[in-house]
Amino acid sequence: MTSLLPCPFCGGEAEVEFYSVKKNMHCCDVCCKDCNARGEQFRTYNTDEAIEMARDAWNRRV
């Protein structure tokens, strides 16, 4: 499992966030704990896949 890179803006710690959009559908993105920078959002029913996509998008950004 690839780990998240630090925030490209402030170097802070990043984490994957989930929230529900509607029933059984989740939105996943990566958010910096320090400056609240956000990565690309993915909406999906498949949680594992969403984590990977959000993480890859975040890591590509740096």
For Zn ion, the binding residues (CB under 5 A) are: 7, 9-10, 12, 32, 34-35, 37
Q: Please identify, using beta-carbon distances, which residue of 9 and 18 lies nearer to Zn ion.
A: 9
**Distance between alpha carbon 60 and the CA centroid of its chain, in Å?**
12
Compute the least distance from the CB of residue 17 to Zn ion, in Å: 14
Compute the least distance from the CB of residue 25 to Zn ion, in Å: 27
Q: Please identify, using beta-carbon distances, which residue of 30 and 32 lies nearer to Zn ion.
A: 32
CB proximity list for 28: less than 8 A, separation 6 or greater? 16, 17, 18, 41, 42, 43, 44, 47, 50, 51, 53, 54
